[in-house]
Each structure stands twice: as C-alpha cells, then as structure tokens.
Structure 1
C-alpha cells in the first residue's frame, strides 16, 4: 500500500502553530498581563523548547507505528523551532545578567541547572547548523551519527527543567516519563532489528 502523501497545508500549519506560543507570550507582556515579564518569557520559552524537542523525538515512533513516512518531513521544522525557543530562553538569561561574567559565574555556582541547560543548548547548536540538505549530503553517514546528540540534549533539558522547578513537579515528571518512553522504544527497536539481522 502506498504511503499517504503529506497534505500541502501540513508544513504551513505546523509553522503557524509553533509560532503561536511566542506571539502569545509577547502579546501578554505587551498587554501588561505578566507580573514579571522577564521571568514569564524565560519560563515560557524554556517550556516550549523542551516540549518541541520531545515532539521532534516523537515523530520517528509515529512514522514507524503509523506507517506514514511523510511525517518525517515535519521533524526538521520541529527541531529547528525547539532550538529557536531554547535560544530565546538563553538570550533572555544573558540579557538579564548583562553578559557580566561575575554574575554568570555566581549563578553557575549557586544554580548548577544553568550549566546543564547551557550544555543542552550547545549540543543542539551543531544540529541546527547542519539541518540543511546540503549538510546532509556533505556529512553522509556522519550526519545521522551527529544528530544522535538530540538524545543527550533532551536528557539534559529534562534535568534542567526538573532542577529549576521548586514546587509542582507534575510537569517535569511528565516530561521525564515521556522522554523515558521515547528512548526505551528506540532501544527496544534497535535490539529487535539486531536480533532479526543475526
């Protein structure tokens, strides 16, 4: 049976949906609805970065279980949006610190989750840079190996969110469970393929 084609409206719709959270957050700040605009934008951008990162990891299981390979065409956009939100998250922190090494160093000593979050962003950076078809052709098999960095980046992002959450742990727990399921599925599938190939 032929694979179902991806509707023409799928990519524009995904683009719009991924942009909505940022526009909504900016609108709330503009309307004065956020008591602490900087804190609100930091939390919103970080939450959506992690959510989109896990959404990116969800594409492959959906493709394999739903037999709809065309969904893979949406994965790049989700990943780039995850990086964009993570970059906004980092940029707001740097703006608040004024880029002062003393302030940043003090924050790192008091809050190790900052190091973990920045490490996650660093791992995502080469993935965003090499996300084009040109880089895929140049790197060939090494492209897939490089883009496996999304796994440790996702783990560090979940840990970052877990550590900075002070009270209600339901959302960090939900993200951690989802990531655990996504990684466990990949391990299971890899072992199954190795067994069949033996």
Structure 2
C-alpha cells in the first residue's frame, strides 16, 4: 500500500485520462478473421459528423479540458497551500498525449496539408509542437538536469493553451 499512498495523485489522473478512451473504443471494431484489423464503425459520429470527424473533435475537446485543468492547478495550489507538483505533472502528460492523439487523428481525417489552410489549424499545430518537448522533459530526471531552465521551458504551456483556444 505504500506505493498507492505515495502515488495516489498519479493513479487518479491516469484513470481520469483513460476513461474517455472507452468512449473512443466504441467507434472502432476489430476484425479478427484476417488478424487484428481495426476499422471505424460507420455512422459512429453524432450531429451529421463522420466517425473520424467525431474522433478528432472528442480528442481535441479532451486535450483542451486537460490543458485548462493543468493551468488552473497553479492558482488552486496557491489558494489552498498545496505543493503537489507531481499531480500537475501527470495532468500535463495527459494533456500532451490527448493533444498528440488529436493531431494524429486530424491528419488521418484531413491530411497534413490541411494543417496549413486556416489560422486555427496552424495555431493548433504550433501548440502541439510546443507540447512535444514539454512532454519529453516532464520527468523528474529532466527537472534535475535542466534546473531553472526546466521551469522556463514548462511555462511555454501558457502559450500552447492560448494557441489552442
């Protein structure tokens, strides 16, 4: 039980980040007759959207929700005197993973060249590019290695949320 007591924040964040994957998994069907082939369920989208469009809307929505939750941690922690950086770290990782998933599904649905056709797509692409180094440098090892630079690098999350919104 010491593991759970020490890492309860990570466990809660991980569970919350994975729950929407069950919703997304209903939009796929697995064909085992020719190995494991994943195909999209037809008419899995709502409101006249295709399943693929619905997938990238859901993933985008969850990436924005996680990003907003991460950025509201700072004022919450200040108000209530909480110093649990590692819960925020787990939330940041969830944000980056949902954002990357959103970007991959968007490219699958629209194509990479579509990324550069509208301002909001370009802004989202830049936000994902910002989140990639934040994801890879979010470990405790990188915190120690980068020291003060780590905090400056992680502050780019504020730019990413502005670009995403």
Whose helix proportion is higher, 1 or 2? Answer: 1
CA contact 1:29–1:37 (8 Å) conserved in 2: no
Deviations 1:76-102 (A, max 9, x none): 111111110111111012223455xxx
What's the counterpart of residue 153 of structure 1? Answer: 160
Report the CA distance shift for 1:32/1:121 in structure 2 as closer, same or farther (over 3 A). same
Matched, 1:118 2:129: no
Does structure 1 residue 42 correspond to structure 2 residue 56? yes
Q: Is the 8 A contact 2:53 2:109 kept in 1?
A: no
For 2:22, the equivalent position in structure 1 comes to 23
Deviation at 1:52, TM superposition (A): 0.1
Unpaired segments of 5 or more residues in structure 1? 1-5, 159-198
In structure 2, the gaps of 5 or more residues are 30-40
The alpha-carbon distance between structure 1 residues 59 and 13, as it changes in their structure 2 partners (threshold 3 A), is: same
1:141 is the counterpart of 2:145 = no
The equivalent residue for 1:177 is none
The residue that corresponds to 1:96 in the other structure is 109
TM-score normalised by structure 2 residue count = 0.79
Aligned to 1:78: 91
Instruction: Measure the CA separation in 2 of the matches of 1:155 and 1:118.
Output: 12
Query: How far does residue 21 in structure 1 lie from its aligned partner after superposition?
Result: 1.0
CA positional deviation for 1:40: 0.7
Q: 1:132 and 2:131 equivalent?
A: no
Structure 1 residues 37-58: Cα deviation after superposition (integer angstroms, max 9, x where no partner):
1011100000000110110111
Partners in 2 of 1:142 and 1:7 — Cα distance? 27
- Structure 1 residues 33 and 78: CA distance shift in structure 2, 3 A: farther
Aligned partner (choices 34, 51, 54) of residue 65 of structure 2: 51
2:35 alignment counterpart: none
Root-mean-square deviation (Å): 2.0
- Distance across 2 between alignment mates of 1:131 and 1:44: 25
Counterpart-to-counterpart distance in 2, 1:8 and 1:153: 27
Q: CA deviation at 1:145?
A: 0.8
Rounded Cα–Cα distance in structure 1 between residues aligned with 2:42 and 2:91: 30
d(CA) in 1 for partners of 2:162, 2:100: 17
How many aligned residue pairs are there? 146
Which of the two has greater strand per residue?
A: 2
